[in-house]
Amino acid sequence: MVVVCPLVFVAWQASQGLPLGTLTLGIYVAVAGLLIACEYGLAFDDRWGSTVRGNLTDFLYVGAATATEKATFLLCATLAAGLGRVLGGQLGISLWPSGWNFGVQVVAALLIADVGTYFRHRLFHKVPALWRFHQIHHSMTGLYWIRSAYTHPLEQFAIMLATMFPIALLGAGNAVILVVAFSYGLSGLLQHANVDARSSVLNCIFATPEVHRFHHGANELGNRSNYSAFFVFMDMLFGTYCRPERHEAPHQVGLEGVKAFPGDFLTHLALPFQHDPAGIQLDETWVQSQAELSGAKNP
Ligand SMILES: [Zn+2]
Ligand SMILES: [Zn+2]
């Protein structure tokens, strides 16, 4: 209801060529109000906190993410779209099915964007230099909706690029790109909400709060499952899908084996570029168990 109804309404508005700015802002405010009420009365875990008790870092991340999204949109709407036009002209074909129904174009764009964001996310877990950025998002020991923006600005740029660049390159119009960016933004808010939402069969279609919560689990499962950002089909296709109904929900979120992590925005900005960042404290018992584990593997 929170994602699909606004998505359909905004897509209809865009298909009529009407402006989206005020409408999308109004929907964000309405959804924010609903999630604030739910975090108050239907919290998944009271210890995680809520948006109304958010700190300065949370709000600075929202400002940075908003600016990054707008800059990336401009880049994609000009550079990627221009490149796509040149490519299409060279090949003599139209790469985007502009004649299709607008709603179908949006679904196609969401599916394509999901491919880009899925591989982007896996890459940020796999490559140590990129994990230095992504660990900031996983350092949260409590989830609430405003923290969907809790991501280093350079990683945020990579996320938005993975979402918008492929569809802009293929020739999707600005209206389609804006609807996709709006849907991802809304889905992100919901995924990180501290709300005890039970999504049942929808967990097999969308990356719901239950699905994404597993990805934040401070355990081995958290680090290797549910990378999807909107639909869960890519996780299913590549064997990384963890269906919530079949596993116990992770009540502890954060980085496995990490006792303390810096919490301020400015420290986070520099953190990925430091070899041995100050302020990260590992759990000694965990370090020892990892050493024993690697000793058993390589005697
Ligand atoms: Zn992740
Ligand atoms: Zn997340």
Location of structure tokens 């607008």? 102
Q: Hey, CA dihedral for 28, 31, 37, 40, is it positive or negative? A: negative
Cα-to-centroid distance, 16 and ligand 1 (Å)? 37
| Nearby residues of 259 by Cβ (< 8 Å), 6 or more positions away | 281, 282, 283
Cα-to-centroid distance, 103 and ligand 2 (Å)? 27
Task: Count other C-beta atoms under 10 Å from residue 132's C-beta.
Answer: 18
Query: What is the model's pLDDT at position 299?
Result: 62
Question: What SS3 class is residue 264?
Answer: coil
Cα-to-centroid distance, 216 and ligand 1 (Å)? 7
Query: What is the model's pLDDT at position 123?
Result: 96
Task: Count other C-beta atoms under 10 Å from residue 64's C-beta.
Answer: 18
Buried b (16+ CB within 10 A) or exposed e, 39-58: beeebbbeebbbbeebeebb
Query: What is the model's pLDDT at position 238?
Result: 96
Note the ligand closest to the C-alpha atom of 253.
2
Cα-to-centroid distance, 223 and ligand 2 (Å)? 11
Cα-to-centroid distance, 187 and ligand 1 (Å)? 15
Domain boundaries, the chain: 4-297
Note the ligand closest to the C-alpha atom of 124.
1
Cα-to-centroid distance, 99 and ligand 1 (Å)? 36
Cα-to-centroid distance, 203 and ligand 2 (Å)? 16
Note the ligand closest to the C-alpha atom of 140.
2
Cα-to-centroid distance, 228 and ligand 2 (Å)? 10
Cα-to-centroid distance, 252 and ligand 2 (Å)? 14
Cα-to-centroid distance, 208 and ligand 2 (Å)? 11
- Spatial separation of the C-alpha atoms in residues 280 and 278, rounded to whole Å: 6
pLDDT tens figures, 29-82: 999 999 999 999 999 999 998 888 889 999 999 999 999 999 999 998 899 888
Cα-to-centroid distance, 215 and ligand 2 (Å)? 7
Cα-to-centroid distance, 72 and ligand 1 (Å)? 21
Predicted confidence pLDDT, tens digits, the chain (299 residues): 878 888 888 888 888 888 778 888 889 899 999 999 999 999 999 999 888 888 999 999 999 999 999 999 999 889 988 898 898 888 888 888 888 999 999 999 999 999 999 999 999 999 999 999 999 999 999 999 999 999 999 999 999 999 999 999 998 989 999 999 999 999 999 999 999 988 889 999 999 999 999 999 988 777 789 999 999 999 999 999 999 888 788 888 999 888 899 989 999 999 999 988 888 888 888 788 888 877 776 66
Cα-to-centroid distance, 142 and ligand 1 (Å)? 15
Q: Hey, CA dihedral for 244, 209, 4, 107, is it positive or negative? A: negative
pLDDT tens figures, 149-162: 999 999 999 999 99
Cα-to-centroid distance, 201 and ligand 1 (Å)? 23
Cα-to-centroid distance, 292 and ligand 2 (Å)? 30
Query: What is the model's pLDDT at position 278?
Result: 80
Cα-to-centroid distance, 176 and ligand 2 (Å)? 24
State how far the alpha carbon of 4 is from the alpha carbons of 8, 108, 190, in Å: 6, 15, 12
Cα-to-centroid distance, 191 and ligand 1 (Å)? 13
Q: Please check whether residue 130 is in contact with residue 123, taking contact to mean a CB–CB distance below 8 angstroms.
A: yes
Cα-to-centroid distance, 125 and ligand 1 (Å)? 6
Note the ligand closest to the C-alpha atom of 190.
2
